[in-house]
Structure 1
């Protein structure tokens, strides 16, 4: 029979289906009602006080509970509104601050393992161990076990649905939905003292928070990458303009030099003096243009290695202004070496020229090629470069210590044996 609650707007979500916590109420309430009729345990009746009418007290308690619920609802609305207002102006409060989206993915994988372990251990949901059904303890335990699985399945369905529909701005709403599921299960399973383990619930709440943080971090990294590409495009445009200006100035210089030689042959000293002054101005303009062209500084500093080509503990430290820096790494590993390079770090810097130079100076005594300074290979481990990078940029980086070298390791076992 439908009740007033079943007609409320909260019973059906936007897709037209009942949320898991509501869906379990109908059939589970009926099943638990039958259980309650046949169970041996009888809930205790509250003690009575002679001469005292409990009705006014109960009414007062109900009024206070309603007032408390209203006040709490108002606080929730205010906090949620404040949170959204902060996000509207670009402020997001991370629940678990980490350095990168990759770090959040690792943390979420670890959390998934913890959740699986709790479920496998049978401790995700708690219930009475001495419940009897139709006078049988064994049947009671079986019933408790079956209903526990059903309740846990409903809770996990709600938790998974919250994760799938999660956005960074509705974390609090998702938490409230999950808490409502906990309350519904505890209410429906009261006769069996059935409830979600608080520790397990805390793991699922942490999953919501980490997922929201991960989504925001991905968005931030995309925005940062977009800004970096924009900066590189602007610098590329500046390089093209400076190169075109240099070409114009060099043509003008060549023209003046040719005219100057003709004037000297004619003996026109006044014209030679004037033209020499203008030629000096052009030389200064070319020098200034060359300086500007050489000091466009933003780009990516990369740390790569190729264990199959050069062996362990040799890294290449370079810099590229490419909009897609991996294009440069792929070019380096195309045909000149037998295996692709492994990328240990790819770090964007507004002054990549200086950062690259600092790293080269720090490992100057470990160069592989001391004759050609443009060969940027060094005897160093990735961890040594990481420590120096962290010191230069003031924080930990997303860094891969060990090379993957998949092609190398797959090929090595098939090489002919060397005598």
Structure 2
């Protein structure tokens, strides 16, 4: 299954590009699913209705109902603890979604698309780039929290909890807590597997110009930090280069100046012209001229560990982390146990060190040619000594 994640700065035309991408895939014979979490259904408007093409299925997510079901089920499972605390139960009718319900609904949809549905292509109309990056990072972050709060190795002791509860005189965490954590772990792992799959790519959409360039740079850095690949950058709503109108000519010149910089910095830039109106319906989406996705996705992002060059005795290994577009002043690096906390502008990621580097100390770091290079030296107390 091929998955296209569509995002970009707010107002850049992400939904239109998602609709055009899905329609092109369906017309090429792929069984295609397009997913949107937009409550206003701008995706349906762009497609011109749910029957844009026989091979195309649209799914608009509404997290409200599933949120109510989940919270009601949690109340039932935690009934004894709630009664002990004298807590009053909430009726399903009075529940409103909490922040994060839509993001979880989107992750469920990714999981379900991979598990249960016979689609060749899945197109996901993500929120604007900053929120989209948070959604894509969520499975890895939540799985880390679960491992910290309920380590798997401690679950073996749950058989003793009823006895401990009787001795203490208060209810102890029940087995369902660990069962729920295990189920969440499975669901999050499935969503993360889709996001990180070799057949999943991100399609960035931006309107050329100073504001679009700044937002695009931040989005590209965040995606690189998450190890996600872009198959193309869509330069959207391009104005014609020749215009008798001086205002339009100046705006077009500004667009094409930014476009020239993008085509130098990015491998694959797709130009999409402005139609003079908001695209609506299959004919308009076809007129955009968006090419089909490449048959083969780009190569996976690699974070290789290499031996230090000869003569550099201060360290033994170098971890290469590609971070295109980031500047030195925006970088932060902290070692915490077996993890490395990397900050690149507004984006942050906590990654587990490769096994060999866990027995090393950080000897330094540098930014060179769009790549963060972290140097490691063996820790004499942990590294096996040669006889």
Q: Whose relative contact order is higher, 1 or 2, with alpha carbons under 8 Å and at least 6 apart?
A: 2
Q: Give TM-score scaled by structure 2 length.
A: 0.29
Q: Give TM-score scaled by structure 1 length.
A: 0.27
Higher-Rg member (1/2): 1
Q: Which has the higher strand share?
A: 2
Q: Which has the higher helix share?
A: 1
